[in-house]
Chains A and B, each alone.
Chain A
């Protein structure tokens, strides 16, 4: 399912290049130029795609890893109030 999400993302990227509507001045609903209307629908499709990505391809394991105690050689700061913001790994 995750692969389907990323294939759809690539497909949307290709569909963004709507060369076929380059010279079309048709006004959708009497006021919206068709080139603009197409990309408005494209924006809605992008939101739909990312909704699917969040539902079907969410990296749930990342949360636990981020919350784990830092490694010994890791930076120390800015995880909590009061700590130094500087990363120890850069010392």
Chain B
């Protein structure tokens, strides 16, 4: 088997490092530029950056594998719903947070929530919960990159590695290393530029992959007819996805309102108008990426490709490796998948480094005790620390299915959505209400996560909601969300209203009813 695909991937990674070097020439050398790109990002880069950050291994590797296992309903579960809900959140929450962040100079969510609720404790409670929820998200990327390269290189090195495939620990290490370098060089601006480039790469290569796979299967009509003959349930939802499960996935895309890395992305925007393109194009971009992946997934089931559903992460890599015999194209498409993964990893690494620097170090020692250069290096040191930790955890998490792990991560953030909505729209919300709701949500999340075997697929109330021949139930996020909402409202109403000075600072007349 030709090693050319690996050379192409290597060349792509070098190109990325070159982009990081080029971008570093525009780096202003300040912490403000490192953390929020001096709030200078324009509409196109913001769109690409936000979209690239949102789409990770989950969107390409995970969606293909999930469609292979559960059929076309995967698109409605996550993609079309996200197109509606993500943009609504960008519009209703993102723009307001950008304005408040710009006006008051916030860089992280904890800074904002601490000030909004006039309580240090809010930050201390929220910080570990956000960090712990981001780590599975990081793992999705590292595990996804390993799975794809392993699938594509199977049989390439029969004398060196098991199955002849490049092991996941090597791919994960290389991907983490490359992302670290370009983030170190230019901070969030480097991440935004790299995201723009990588989003273009993975969207283009995704469409090319789809066309070539369809062609290799004898055309889309023949490929879908094979599904009709061999795996007809993948063409519908009956027998694969229950109606309650489908409806309760509503709570998963709410996660974008609480993702700390998206909060940071929003703050980089040059102006409120910068958001317009992102709000409109986001559903279209999701469609362009997800529809081909879903079709590839069901076509794999129709071949059938013979991969057990538990190994669904391997489906995309196997389809590319087996059907596209041109090693140059295989390499290009593998690079495209890695681009999608790295375009999320960089923002997440950046974000955690920013949070540790600002919410822990600067918050404790005081912002005036460190020079701007020292702050910059603290940020860089934390980014490296997070990368090393993520890589180490990925070594023991090999084999974990990506889609359910991602859903658990998104469920936690989605469940906390009432907190950000209350912060932006509900004057009566109190610090005690927020602290109680975050603690309750974290406890409920952990109990349900453990009950599901630490990251497995899970539905609740199955015994009540299932019907003959169809297991059904609601997503755990439903219960977590309800717990958060009830606690937030109940405790806030039971405690003293926030002082009027804080309220007037965050609810000025200019923002009343905006956006309507």
Contacts and interface: CB of A to CB of B under 8 A. Distances in A.
B322 interface: no
Is the contact region of chain B dominated by helix, strand, or loop, or is it mixed?
A: helix
Nearest to A23: B238
Contact of A47 (B98, B283, B375): B283
Nearest to A89: B115
B291 A36 contact: yes
B111 A87 contact: yes
Given A40-B287, A66-B103, A74-B103, A80 B80 contact: no
Contact of B39 (A62, A68, A79): A79
Most buried by B among A18, A58, A70: A58
Interface residues of A, number: 64
B179 to A, nearest CB: 21
Interface stretch (B192-200, B217-225, B326-334, B343-351): B217-225
Contacts of A42: 76, 80, 83-84
Contact of B104 (A43, A63, A80, A87): A87
Most buried by B among A2, A76, A86: A86
Contacts of B31: 78, 83-85
Interface in B257-283: 267, 271-273, 276, 279-283
Interface string B76-99: 100111011001100100011011
B393 interface: no
Interface of A: 2, 9, 12-13, 16-19, 21-25, 27, 30-33, 35-36, 39-40, 42-44, 46-47, 49-51, 53-54, 57-59, 61-68, 70-71, 73-91
22 contacts: A13-B84, A17-B247, A25-B232, A27-B225, A30-B220, A33-B298, A35-B236, A36-B72, A43-B284, A44-B284, A47-B282, A50-B282, A54-B279, A57-B515, A59-B95, A62-B515, A63-B272, A78-B36, A78-B105, A85-B362, A87-B114, A89-B111
